Amino acid sequence: MSAAPGAAPAISGGTPPGVPVHVGVIMDGNRRWARARGLPAALGHKAGADAVRRTVEAAAKSGIGWLTLFAFSSENWQRSDDEVRELTGLLRFYLRHEIAALHKNKVRLRVIGERDRFGPETTAAIRDAEALTANNTGLNLTVALSYGSRSEIAASARFLAREVAAGRMDPEAVDEASLTRHLSTHDMPDPDLIIRTSGEQRLSNFLLWQAAYAEFWFTETLWPDFGANDLAQAVAEYARRERRYGAG
């Protein structure tokens, strides 16, 4: 599907044949990577941030138009206070030190999820990064932070319920399109390909509604080891598949 009105401008020249327009990535394995090396979890997350840089660069070079990274789920708040602080600090560091490079390469950055939970300093850094890159026409990079797809769907349903209760909407008008319009991804194309690292094979509450017809690619590679070659393998596998959207 094409992006809705209000979405970021498409990459010049469009998406090359066989390349997914939108790729979602569930970045998994930072802690296991660190544990296997006898390192603290914080260094695993730092190595994961390096993998983000490599993957963003590779996605832009391959012609992928939209890249959505699942960086921190709403369930991740259950982790230890120390690890959450480390993740939040790394997020702020990334925003401050990587945003110039993203902007130079015409990447448009957006964040979906409950950003306010990270506190005013991080929220301000996110807002500044989004504002700086808002008019960029290269890769559309979306980072899902404190994001949970079930709560996102429920929030859209609550909005529609209020509209119906107030008499501003006919109940019969509630359909897939109206629910989609009130998701945080409303102006993005649905993902064509979802990648998950570290050998796990589940969505973990990531883009449940949007991934209805996505292709999936799973790899044993832990996220800190993920790079351009892994992304190329996923895209090559995607290109070999026939997408029928339920048509038989």
Question: Is 244 known to sit in a ligand binding site?
Answer: no
103 is in an annotated binding site: no
Q: Is 81 a catalytic residue?
A: no
Name the catalytic one among 50, 76, 136, 190: 76
d(CA 188, CA 46): 28
- Annotated ligand binding at 240? The verdict is no
Among 244, 178, 248, CA closest to 209: 178
Buried b / exposed e along 194-219 (16+ C-beta atoms within 10 A): bbbbbeeeebebbbebbbeebbbbbb
**Residue 203 marked ligand-binding:** yes
Q: Is 73 known as a binding-site position?
A: yes
Given the residues 28, 190, 192, 230, the one annotated as active site: 28
Q: Answer yes or no: is 149 a known binding residue.
A: no
CA distance 228 to 219: 14
62 labelled ligand-binding: no
Q: Is 175 a catalytic residue?
A: no
Q: What share of the chain is helix, strand, coil (3-state, %, to 5)?
A: 45, 15, 40
Q: At what angle do helices 41-62 and 228-240 cross, to 10 degrees?
A: 50
* Residue 75 annotated as part of some ligand binding site: yes
241 assigned binding-site residue: no
Active site amino acids: 28, 76
Binding residues for substrate: 29-33, 45, 73-75, 77, 79, 196, 202-204
Binding residues for Mg(2+): 28, 215
